[in-house]
């Protein structure tokens, strides 16, 4: 815990505190900043003045009318607002969900979850197996569409678009949202090609530009020195940990804004896990990261905010520090202290 506290800058700390607001009561602060964020792309926007955001509607607010129109129904598991955290406005969330429900056939796997994801921070989703955290993650880039019988209700607002809208161009959406899976899944191609494949498809044609991009991505994932002499060997020849970092390099090569990680270290040995965690901390300078993990120590180590899911409900969502030291809900406490799950 102390590690997290020392790592954070003061600025971030204040930002986190206010962003730690539960999603429902933070709706109005979330609106105008998000509207502002969509004007200026991700993250580059200065947060609006700290004074009460609802009374000060940004002109861009019209762009997201559906959100302001109604007050979302409070999540069933809402913690009591913690008072102190409300004094400052949240920084613009990179994206947020509103009353998001996911169904597999008749079964409801996610129950009306509203969550705001602060820009360039790591949000960890924890909870026992089958609690819906992976489902939630996979609905953020509409990957759950691939599963027969899966359907989605509610809203996910990313960059001013509700991506649950059936008219959404999922292909373009997914380019903006990188994904990393539990088991490393490099393409059956060379190391170089694994990274260059996406950008080339999206229009980077010149060899020099591709070379540069590949090197940049591999450096960012701390893989360059390990593989620079064998770029044209198969990506499958790498070790599990290297493969996973290759997969991360592959996903950042298409310049996404958001990275979704579905238990990225659960199939790796401790050393590789540490590397992936380090990498996650590095990457949050450039990307908003959502990470699903079974490992609570990992959540505590890498994340700024933590959301506890249980049986499809978002039970508690707060600053990681708070969740792990002083959770508001009893079930969170029980889970974290290992009484179940």
Q: Does 103 bind other proteins (CB under 8 A)?
A: no
Strands (E), 73-149: 93-104, 107-118, 122-126
Range in contact with other proteins (rule: CB under 8 A) among 33-41, 43-51, 165-173, 297-305? 165-173
Q: Which is nearer to other proteins, 193 or 316 (CB)?
A: 193
Q: Which two tokens stand for residue 192?
A: 């170089």
Q: Which is nearer to other proteins, 141 or 303 (CB)?
A: 141
CA-wise closest residue to 221 among 181, 277, 162, 295: 277
Q: Does 189 bind other proteins (CB under 8 A)?
A: yes
Q: Does 168 bind other proteins (CB under 8 A)?
A: no
Q: How far is the CB of 198 from other proteins (least distance, A)?
A: 4
Please identify which residue in 22, 190, 242, 328 interacts with other proteins, judged by CB under 8 A: 190
d(CA 156, CA 134): 16
Q: Which residue has the tokens 């598991």?
A: 77
Q: Which ranges in the chain belong to alpha helices (H)?
A: 2-7, 10-19, 27-39, 65-69, 133-139, 170-176, 191-201, 207-220, 224-227, 240-252, 270-283, 296-302, 320-325, 330-336
Contact 218, 195 (CB under 8 A): yes
Q: Does 86 bind other proteins (CB under 8 A)?
A: no
Tell me the Cα Rg of the chain: 20
CB burial of 195-218 (b: ≥16 within 10 Å; e: otherwise) equals bbbbbbeeebeeeeebeebbeebb
Q: Which is nearer to other proteins, 29 or 199 (CB)?
A: 199
Q: Does 202 bind other proteins (CB under 8 A)?
A: yes
Please identify which residue in 13, 62, 73, 172 interacts with other proteins, judged by CB under 8 A: 172
List binders of other proteins among 236-265 (CB under 8 A). 236-237, 247, 250-251, 254
Q: How far is the CB of 258 from other proteins (least distance, A)?
A: 11
Q: Does 204 bind other proteins (CB under 8 A)?
A: no
Q: How far is the CB of 134 from other proteins (least distance, A)?
A: 12
Q: Does 193 bind other proteins (CB under 8 A)?
A: yes
Please identify which residue in 43, 88, 128, 197 interacts with other proteins, judged by CB under 8 A: 197
Longest alpha-carbon distance in the chain? 59
Q: Does 198 bind other proteins (CB under 8 A)?
A: yes
Q: Report the interface residues with other proteins, using CB under 8 A.
A: 141, 143, 146, 148, 171-179, 181, 183, 185, 187-190, 193, 197-198, 201-202, 232-237, 247, 250-251, 254
């Amino acid at each position: 815990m102390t590690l997290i506290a020392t790592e954070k800058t003061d600025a971030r700390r204040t930002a986190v505190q206010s962003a730690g607001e539960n999603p429902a009561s933070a709706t109005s602060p979330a609106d105008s900043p998000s509207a502002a964020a969509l004007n200026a792309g991700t993250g580059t926007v200065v947060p609006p003045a700290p004074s009460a955001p609802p009374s000060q509607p940004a002109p861009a607010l019209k762009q997201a009318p559906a959100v302001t129109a109604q007050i979302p129904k409070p999540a069933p598991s809402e913690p009591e607002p913690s008072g102190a955290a409300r004094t400052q406005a949240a920084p613009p969330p990179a994206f947020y969900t509103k009353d998001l429900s996911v169904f597999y056939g008749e079964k409801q796997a996610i129950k009306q979850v509203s969550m705001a994801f602060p820009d360039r921070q790591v949000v960890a989703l924890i909870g026992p197996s089958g609690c819906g955290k992976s489902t939630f993650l996979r609905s953020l880039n509409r990957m759950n569409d691939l599963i027969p019988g899966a359907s989605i209700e509610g809203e996910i607002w990313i960059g001013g678009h509700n991506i649950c809208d059936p008219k959404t161009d999922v292909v373009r959406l997914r380019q903006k949202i990188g994904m990393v899976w539990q088991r490393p899944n490099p393409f059956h191609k060379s190391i170089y090609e694994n990274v260059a494949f996406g950008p080339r498809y999206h229009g980077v044609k010149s060899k020099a530009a591709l070379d540069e991009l590949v090197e940049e991505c591999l450096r960012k994932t701390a893989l360059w020195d390990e593989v620079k002499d064998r770029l044209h060997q198969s990506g499958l020849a790498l070790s599990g940990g290297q493969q996973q970092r290759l997969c991360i390099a592959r996903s950042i090569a298409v310049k996404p804004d958001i990275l979704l990680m579905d238990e990225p270290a659960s199939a790796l040995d401790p050393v590789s896990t540490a590397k992936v965690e380090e990498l996650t901390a590095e990457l949050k300078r450039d990307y908003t990261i959502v990470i699903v993990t079974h490992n609570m120590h990992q959540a505590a180590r890498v994340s700024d905010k933590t959301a506890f899911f249980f049986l499809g409900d978002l039970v508690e969502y707060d600053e990681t520090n708070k969740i792990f030291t002083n959770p508001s809900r009893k079930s969170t406490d029980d889970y974290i202290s290992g009484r179940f799950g």
